[in-house]
Amino acid sequence: MTITDTAHLPPDHPTVKSGKVGVLLVNLGTPDGTDYASMRRYLREFLTDKRVIEWSPWKWYPILFGIVLNTRPGKVGKAYELIWNKDRDESYLRTHTRSQSELMAERLKDLPDVTVDWAMRYGNPSIPSRIQALKEDGCDRIVLFPLYPQYAAATTATVNDKAFQHLLKMRWQPALRTVPDYHDDETYIEALANSITTHLATLDWEPEMILASFHGIPMSYFKKGDPYYCQCQKTGRLLRERLSLSEEKFMVTFQSRFGPEEWLQPYTDKTVEKLAQDGVKKIAVLNPGFVSDCLETLEEIAEQAAHSFHENGGDKFTHIPCLNDSEDGMRVLEKVVRRELLGWA
């Protein structure tokens, strides 16, 4: 670390640290609590993001403020309560992201001028607050890592947007690198394959079908040029080939649709129902697009999808956890970070 030369500055001028490199891991976000006020605050920030909801505010805001923000906080809060980390009084997404940051710092100990931190796009800790903290700690270069293997405007781009918006307010901006997607990275595919085989080895039964369920986006976003659908399909194909499975045994689906628009298909919930109704008795579901387990994996898949499968005649259902802060998961993130640090550290 170097310190800016202040020999010719006025005596009351503050000392400025510089010369370090920051790595900022950023995930989607989390409410501070499961209560109504916390949920409403979180949902308001999330659902007013123009990258997430691309409707005109004149059309969307009356629905959002008149209906959604009055009804969904209670419903979503109850869902969060089912998967809340009671020991730390926080969501598991926050628990996992913090752990990933701490483990990354440990893995980069050979680079003493690198500082690792974490943030959330929605909720706390915020991206602006952590960029400011890194800058004050002497980081004049920052690697911004949106934790999404597949690129989507509603995820990766909005993380970048938020960082750039904060830079607009800064007198002395740090240099910023944004991390690209890694949907077809061989280490990532290998880690996913290992997670599947390791998990299935703990069962006394074999699934007839494995679903790779990705978060969906509206079909209109895809038609406007978003590469997300194609990247999800490629991840799924590479993973299926790595596992030597046929298309009859492995399928890509999309979950978490919201609102009246058509979203990417096939839908996970409808697929789970149909498989059970068609006589498939045993399935496994994983979420390759999620770096960490969260509401959409622990509640929507491990709880809701499992219940739906059983209700429609299915027998055995298992959810394969996300990579989280596992050894394989951290190996993937470290590979991406070290690649992006080249020339800086």
- pLDDT score of 13 more than 90: no
Phi, psi angles (nearest 5°) of residue 35: -70, 165
Q: What is the pLDDT of residues 90-127, one digit of tens each?
A: 999 999 999 999 999 999 999 999 999 999 999 999 99
Instruction: For 90-115, give one letter per residue: b (16+ CB within 10 A) or e.
Output: bbbbbbbbbebbebbbebbeebebbb
- pLDDT score of 5 more than 60: no
pLDDT band with cut points at 50, 70 and 90 for residue 339: very high
What pLDDT score does 7 carry? 58
- pLDDT score of 15 more than 70: no
What pLDDT score does 1 carry? 44
What pLDDT score does 259 carry? 85
- pLDDT score of 209 more than 90: yes
pTM over 0.75? The answer is yes
**What are the CA-CA distances from residue 244 to residues 55, 238, 283 (Å)?**
42, 10, 17
Q: What is the pLDDT of residues 154-166, one digit of tens each?
A: 999 999 999 999 9
- pLDDT score of 142 more than 90: yes
Class of the CATH domain delimited by 186-320: alpha beta
Taking the C-alpha atoms of residue 41 and residue 39, their distance in angstroms, rounded to an integer, is: 5
Class of the CATH domain delimited by 2-7+16-181+329-341: alpha beta
Residues of the chain with CATH 3.40.50.1400: 2-7+16-181+329-341, 186-320
What pLDDT score does 17 carry? 78
